Amino acid sequence: MANLTINGKTFTLDVEPDTPLLWAIRENAGLTGTKYGCGIAQCGACTVHLDGVAMRSCGISVSEAEGKKITTIEGLASRDSLHKVQEAWIAQDVPQCGYCQSGMIMAVAALLNEKPKPTDADIDEAITNICRCGTFQQVREAIHMIASA
Amino acid sequence: MNKHVSPRMNRRAFVIGSATLGAGLAIGLDIPFGGPAVVRAADGSPEIGAWVVVRPDDTVVIRVARSEMGQGSLTGLAQLVAEELECDWTKVTTEYPTPGQSVARKRVWGDFSTGGSRGIRSSQDYVRKGGATARVMLIQAAADAWKVPASECTVSSSVITHTPSGRTTTYGKVAEAAAKLAPPPDVKLKDPKDWKLIGKGVKRLDTVDKTTGAMIYGADVKLPGMLNAAIKDCPVFGGKLKSFDEARIAGMKGVKKVVKVGDTAVAVVADTWWHAKTALDALPIAWDEGDNAKVSSASIAKWLAEGLEDSQPAYVGNKNGDAKAAIASAAKKVEAVYSYPYQNHATMEPMNATALYTADKCEVWCGTQNGEAAFAAVLEASGLPAEKCDVHKVMPGGGFGRRGQTDYVRQAVMIAKQMPGTPIKLLWSREEDMAQGRYHPISQCKMTGALDANNNLVALHYRLSGQSILFSLRPEALQSGMDPIAFQGVAQSGEAAFGYSVPNLLIEHAMRNPHVPPGFWRGVNVNQNAIYMECFMDELAHAAGQDPLEFRRKLMGNHPKHLAVLNAVAEKIGWDTPAPQGVYRGIAQVMGYGSYVAGAAEISVTDGSKIKVHRIVASTDPGYVVNPAQVERQIAGSFVYGLSALFYGGCTVKDGRIEQTNFDTYNSMRISEMPKVESVMVPSGGFWGGVGEPTIGVAAPAVLNAYFAATGKRIRSVPLRDQNITFA
């Protein structure tokens, strides 16, 4: 059993402590917006926020995540409006297949929390998610759009 | 906020399913006296022809048979229908018919397959007619109500106006009456010059849910009582499952069942996928690997190299004059051997399918590029007839050709069949996805060119040796044994025609089929043929002491469309002006999927091994551009896919199996490595070419030619990581 705080809610989940956080989120908490891509913290599709920091949830165990504030893509928007990154993604028509975009958006949201006006170099350093469709151009444009707003 | 809703998994989206229609009396099927039957969507709204449903609130539901997988066809196809329908675009939504429903209605929605960049170009005619037919019926219904001739009525944005009287009504108000009319036998499509919506870069219809986590992909499907399965298929292709020691994982948490899947695979079914995967990893499995376990990349390379020799049999794909004689007597001879490796599609979402099998029904939920092929796989694996099966398409996390295959669908049904009544979600691990690909085929190419005393290209012998996709996947499409698509980009004519005039030409293919299963991988054979041809063209230009662009232009007089896109990129990149200090350029062109494309790259190279790509320009002439914003994204995306394969890709074989296991050994480009792609669209009209794939062909050769310009060194094999060359 583990107690996880996800998107402001407490979940008591029947999982082993070494279960990757990704699978506890997807299968036990039932929040499937966070995606499985590689399972080895390479692709970033499973990116969530742990106490505001972007982390690859496939590489973190449930026991490491206990007691931390976990935010998934489902918890990014406020009750009334989408998060500015989501809005920018819609405005710039960023996603293609969209499978990597939950993780991409979470990574970008964390970057913007830290650096509200990132340079291209900041983006290059912080955003290392894989997108096989190749949406990088729109991702970059959308980040700059938010930064210049 | 955009009003469009995503095409969701909805089992009730179409009440007129195979079973109900076959039964003759169906919910939602009106049979008025003397008129045609009205077919209704799940919410009761009437169909106006098979492609369009109009709701009372003027919402227009457009049916899309092809699969959206990120390439934007869902939106493009809806634009085509809406253009002719003259409906309010802000009230358009889309819906997937199921293959089972289509089969039950005599394939009213046509071909579902979404590969070969065909989504738009192969269905544009009949979907536009679907829109036009509905428009004519809706206008007629309004005219009938007003008792005026339809010719006095016009329509704009779903509002019908009787011009002489100024009366107006809307599609939603006349839909019921329109649905009762007989469709006109023949409709006239708009002249392209009158298009208002086609050619406009409208936003995609499926974006919002992709930004909130709400979009349901195959891996996200949830059904009541569902269990999860993880699978391991024999890692040596052609091998079999010998045995597994189930007792060793007995009692592991969540495990419900261990099942054999055909002769080659074993799956663990558990409450969660994580439990299934954990138990599968702990399961001792013995394989009967067979002779293929002796095969390695080196043994394949040796066999292919033998095929380059003229003494070996080969199929001729393109020929004129006498290339061998002209080469023998030429003033100057240039020769080079190139190679291209296996590639995995590595879709972001690994293969998966969810199946529910009962004694009298089998349903599958999955992402697929070919709903009808998936449907056929369900029939075959379940043993049930068509009216008892169906496939519900959900959003795939990438396709790139991989999801045109149905192996994972078949597996899901085979597992579900062993647990009747329980929905089973089969999800491959990334490792399984890497091990069980349908790989871009391997090949080598020996090219010999002959220049006369004035440095004109007088002969070219292009000899491929390598694997045929059709031999493995569609042997019925071979032509007297020859695989015509092996010649994509260098073919004599057709949708992938060679763009140069060479007086003595011989293009041939020594077919050699290793045991590794090949598949259609974005761009298919355009990938290696464009590298081979366009890099060698650069070598010839260099041997002739000529500018690579000028050298090509001289051979392209009879190929004006090929030349036009090449000129377009040359102009945009500024070929005639010097590149910035330390920056070097490369250029390439090819034709594929009915479109003419060209690309140019500007790169710098540090220490001969660190490449920075500064600029990419790409041009395409696909005949017509339905949605320039999406075409731009497909062009840019194709470069990411193509350059990822060039720099990081390549699957190697050891002991009969693929060595790469995940993104750590099969990497993909990141944002820091990818420059902006400047696209130049030059649609010349009169034909319909594809968009998703063609430009991938010029990505690698443009960069490789720039690398030569920068270093004087030719790279003749892929990937660059094998030569310790990477991004700066």
- In chain B, the number of structural domains is 3
Tens digits of residue pLDDT in B471-481: 999 999 999 99
* Structure letter (DSSP) for residue B430: H
Where a domain ends, among B212, B237, B258?
A: B212
List Cβ neighbours of B474 (8 Å cut-off, separation of 6 or more). none
Domain match, B254 and B400 both: yes
CB B415 within 8 A of CB B354: no
Could you please report the per-residue DSSP string of chain A? -EEEEETTEEEEE---TTSBHHHIIIIIS--TTS--S-SSSSS-TTEEEETTEEEEGGGSBHHHHTTSEEE-GGGTS-SSS--HHHHHHHHTT--SS-TTHHHHHHHHHHHHHH-SS--HHHHHHH-----SS--HHHHHHHHHHHHT-
Which amino acid is present at A74? E
Average pLDDT (B536-550) is 98
φ, ψ (nearest 5 deg) of residue B139: -65, -40
CATH of the domain at B158: 3.30.365.10
List Cβ neighbours of B419 (8 Å cut-off, separation of 6 or more). B227, B256, B257, B259, B269, B357
Percentage of chain B modeled with pLDDT above 90: 95
Question: Shortest CA distance to B353 belongs to which of B399, B275, B408, B421?
Answer: B408
Cβ distance of B430 and A82 shorter than 8 Å: no
Task: State the average pLDDT for chain B.
Answer: 95
**Helix (H) / strand (E) containing B306:** helix B297-307
Does the pLDDT value for residue B451 go beyond 50?
yes
Where a domain ends, among B427, B460, B482?
A: B427
With bands split at pLDDT 50, 70 and 90, how would you rate the model's confidence at B96? Answer: very high
Best mutation site among A85, A137, A144, A146 for testing chain B: the one with the most B CBs within 10 Å? A137
Which amino acid is present at B643? L
CB B704 within 8 A of CB B340: no
With bands split at pLDDT 50, 70 and 90, how would you rate the model's confidence at B706? Answer: very high
Interface check A132 vs B, CB under 8 A: yes
Does the pLDDT value for residue B17 go beyond 80?
no
- Minimal Cβ distance to A105: which of B211, B253, B397: B211
Residue B97 is assigned to a structural domain of this protein: yes
Residue B26 is assigned to a structural domain of this protein: no
Domain match, B162 and B278 both: no
Compute the CA torsion angle A44, A46, A50, A55 (nearest 10 deg): -20
Domain match, B359 and B334 both: no
Could you report how far apart the first and last alpha carbons of chain A are, in Å?
44
The minimum CA-CA distance between B540 and chain A, rounded to whole Å, is 33
Residue B29 confidence (pLDDT) = 44
Residue B139 is assigned to a structural domain of this protein: yes
Residue B10 is assigned to a structural domain of this protein: no
Residue B25 confidence (pLDDT) = 24
Task: State the average pLDDT for chain A.
Answer: 98
* Domain with B268 in it: 218-289+351-427
Cβ distance of A90 and B207 shorter than 8 Å: yes
Domain match, B193 and B254 both: no
Residue A120 confidence (pLDDT) = 98
* Structure letter (DSSP) for residue B28: T
Residue B21 confidence (pLDDT) = 29
If one compares B591 and B25, the residue with the highest pLDDT of the two is: B591
Residue B28 confidence (pLDDT) = 43
List Cβ neighbours of B658 (8 Å cut-off, separation of 6 or more). B235, B342, B344, B434, B435, B437, B439, B516, B651, B652
- Minimal Cβ distance to A93: which of B629, B640, B671: B629
Average pLDDT (B690-708) is 98
Interface check A11 vs B, CB under 8 A: no
Domain match, B155 and B235 both: no
Domain match, B172 and B247 both: no
Chain B environment of A102 (Cβ under 8 Å) = 213
Residue B289 confidence (pLDDT) = 98
Query: Closest residue of B to A99, CA-based?
Result: B397
Does the pLDDT value for residue B30 go beyond 70?
no
* A20, β-bridge pairs: A61
Q: Which of B1-10, B244-253, B275-284, B719-728 has the lowest mean pLDDT?
A: B1-10
Chain B environment of A101 (Cβ under 8 Å) = 210-211
CB B10 within 8 A of CB B390: no
Residue B37 confidence (pLDDT) = 78
Domain match, B695 and B592 both: yes
CB B33 within 8 A of CB B60: no
Tens digits of residue pLDDT in B490-501: 999 999 999 999
The ipTM value here is 0.99
Does the pLDDT value for residue B205 go beyond 70?
yes
Chain A environment of B641 (Cβ under 8 Å) = 132-134
Domain match, B565 and B663 both: yes
Residue A134 confidence (pLDDT) = 98
* CA dist B34 → B46, B147, B175 (Å): 18, 20, 18
Q: Is the Cα torsion angle A87, A89, A93, A98 positive or negative in sign?
A: negative
Average pLDDT (B434-438) is 98
Q: Which of B314-331 are b and which e, b meaning 16 or more Cβ less than 10 Å from the residue's Cβ?
A: bbebbeeeebeebbeebe
Residue B524 CA to residue A90 CA, distance in Å, equals 31
Average pLDDT (B142-165) is 98
Percentage of chain B modeled with pLDDT above 70: 95
Domain match, B629 and B699 both: yes
Q: How many residues does the structure list for chain A?
A: 149
Cβ distance of A97 and B662 shorter than 8 Å: no
Interface check A137 vs B, CB under 8 A: yes
Where a domain ends, among B427, B455, B485?
A: B427
Domain match, B455 and B516 both: yes
Chain A environment of B669 (Cβ under 8 Å) = 134, 136
Residue B41 CA to residue B36 CA, distance in Å, equals 16
Does the pLDDT value for residue B13 go beyond 90?
no
Cβ distance of B211 and A127 shorter than 8 Å: no
Tens digits of residue pLDDT in A74-132: 999 998 999 999 999 999 999 999 999 999 999 999 999 999 999 999 999 999 999 99
**A:30-89 residues touching chain B, CB 8 A cutoff:** 30-40, 42-43, 45, 72-74, 76-77, 82, 86, 89
B685: Cα separation from own chain's centroid: 23
A-B CB pairs within 8 A amount to 182
Residue B674 is assigned to a structural domain of this protein: yes
Domain match, B163 and B231 both: no
Residue B35 confidence (pLDDT) = 53
